[in-house]
Amino acid sequence: MGDADKLKITIDRDTCIGDGLCCNDAPETFEMDDDQIAILKNPIGDDRATIIEAATNCPVEAIKVEDTDTGEVLYPEE
């Protein structure tokens, strides 16, 4: 938990299908824009575990989460 400030979150807008699960799972981090595509609302809005869970639940793997300290890709697993 915590350490969300050490995450780099990237949303592939071309891949996003506007499902909205990320917004449901981490509502302080993600929101939908006017085109119903996910955008970053606040990269430290939710805790680390919640953000990773939201990325994991994306049906098209449009969200990439990296640890900025280590450079490790936390999701999707490589």
Of the options 3.30.420.40, 3.30.70.20, 3.90.550.10, 3.40.50.1450, the CATH number for the domain spanning 4-72? 3.30.70.20
- pLDDT tens, position by position, 18-28: 999 999 999 99
CA distances (Å), 23 to each of 8, 19, 42, 45, 72, in order? 17, 9, 11, 11, 24
* Residue showing tokens 């909205």: 20
CB 53 within 8 A of CB 24: no
Whether the predicted pLDDT of 4 surpasses 90: no
* Residue 49 DSSP code: H
Model confidence at 42, pLDDT cuts 50, 70, 90, reads very high
Q: In sequence order, which ranges of 1-78 are alpha helices (DSSP H)?
A: 21-25, 48-57
Residue ranges per domain, the chain? Answer: 4-72
